[in-house]
Amino acid sequence: MKIIDRARIRELMDRELQSYVRTRPRSRELFERARKSLLAGVPMHWMVRWAGPYPIFVKEARGAYIQDVDGNRYLDLCLGDTGSMFGHSPESVARAASEQLSRGITMMLPTEDSIWVAEELARRFGLPYWQIAMTATDANRFSIRLAREVTKRPRILVVNGCYHGTVDETLIDLVDGKVLPRAGNMGPPVDPQVTTKAVEFNDLAAMERALAARDVACVLMEPAMTNRGIILPDPGYHEALREMTRKYGTLLIIDETHTICAGVGGYTGEYGLNPDILTIGKPLASGVPVAAYGISQELSDRVMEKILSDGTDENGLGGTLSGNALAVSAMRATLENVITREAFARMIPLAERFERGVAETIREAGVPWHVTRLGVRIEYHFLPRPPRNGAEANAAKDAELERLLHLMALNRGILMTPFHNMALISPYTTEEDVDAHTRVFSECVHELVK
């Protein structure tokens, strides 16, 4: 196996930074102007975390492609970090949303589309009752509240290395068995040991020890981890987890926001999971802000009285714009026409092709890495074998190498997801696109180990 030469990384980085700046003068101008009015020079600070010294400013995004203000065109494998994973501005969604725009955007009253949407979500994910939220963060926060309300228990449990949005209880690190505020967490409100237990993914013995105290309202978990690279569950993990949560009276919340990449019903639909609550956001309306959470009949029976009797809108669930007509119309169009079985039937073979291309390059170049895939999400790790949990994945993080590979890809017309080596295949991605990535990846890795 080849050891990556750090001096070589820095040498290539200098060359690639120069090339980046040379080909993006207009983005640079806009960034310089933006820094005078936008905090960090962008509307949301993650946008400066791309590999270049300043972000590319977008002129237009369509299907699987983005064009920047300097006239550069990119194959987009980031796809808004899953927000647009089924393509930028699908025609049917653009049409439905523009029609709804002129018929009323938000009324705090339901439209018929919301019933269609809930019926469809119930069919796909197997839970009977649904609420609409604006973001996956919100859907998770509301679900945790429901769990605490019905169980009357104070704590939640998450796995180390999870990400469920800006939900305070989940922004933790597990260090030497202790739950600490996540490194970099801005203004943590309370000591997370008060609110949160954490275990490593795939560690059922630790899970059982944590649940046995019967003080955990809910386990909140992605069915396969996607925010530290892709980490798949061990065989039998979900069956044991479900049994254990039932045994100790803890509710199980499955967050499908990223794992919808596994199929039309997410990992839950593909592998027959049976959660008490399911949350999902990001691509549900092709990027129009919307999220949803579904609950079981039993849970509905336990919370309905409180929901209806409260008499006030200030019970901690929902928001003025939640369930608005525009978002719901975009969600209907997305579920009806975009996130379909036909789309997955086209995308999965392309994702397999992508995975084969990356695996072949890793083998040929002799670098100690591997590639993992979940449905149409593919990620390579700087580790010879797949990690089993967040701690193993964190230990393999190599920010410098990651940045170089991203920058090289950017300069060759390919957008990879920042903070990851992740690629998403959309219904618009073609075989030629996949092969273009394979070529670029191979060229970059071979240059690196030359």
Ligand X SMILES: Cc1ncc(COP(=O)(O)O)c(C=O)c1O
- Residues in the site for ligand X, rule: CB under 6 A? 135-137, 163-165, 222, 227, 255, 257-258, 281-282
Q: Got the DSSP string for 422-442?
A: EEE--TT--HHHHHHHHHHHH
CA pair distance 175, 405, nearest whole angstrom? 29
Cβ closest to ligand X, residue 12 vs residue 159: 159
Q: Contact at 8 Å (CB) between 94 and 82? A: no
Strands (E), 42-171: 58-62, 65-68, 73-76, 129-133, 155-159
Tokens for 9, please give them.
Answer: 């990384």
Cβ closest to ligand X, residue 219 vs residue 367: 219
CA pair distance 245, 252, nearest whole angstrom? 7
Cβ closest to ligand X, residue 294 vs residue 357: 294
Tokens for 304, please give them.
Answer: 């309905």
Q: Contact at 8 Å (CB) between 355 and 371? A: yes
Tokens for 252, please give them.
Answer: 């199980």
Q: Contact at 8 Å (CB) between 290 and 314? A: no
Q: Contact at 8 Å (CB) between 212 and 173? A: no
Q: Helix/strand/coil (H, E, C) string of 9-35?
A: HHHHHHHHHHHHHHCCHHHHHHHHHHC
Tokens for 354, please give them.
Answer: 């992508």
Residue 79 burial (10 A CB sphere; 0-12, 13-18, 19+): buried
CA pair distance 401, 10, nearest whole angstrom? 9
CA pair distance 147, 303, nearest whole angstrom? 9
CA pair distance 450, 439, nearest whole angstrom? 16
Tokens for 413, please give them.
Answer: 């017309």
User: How far apart are CB 344 and ligand X at their closest, in Å?
Assistant: 19
Q: Please tell me whether residue 151 adopts helix, strand or coil conformation.
A: helix
Tokens for 205, please give them.
Answer: 């013995």
Strands (E), 305-442: 370-374, 377-381, 414-415, 422-424
Beta bridge partners of 179: 174
H/E stretch holding 199 reads strand 196-199
Q: Contact at 8 Å (CB) between 286 and 86? A: yes
Q: 246-267: string of b/e by CB count within 10 Å (b at 16+)?
A: eebebbbbbbbbbbbbbbbbbb
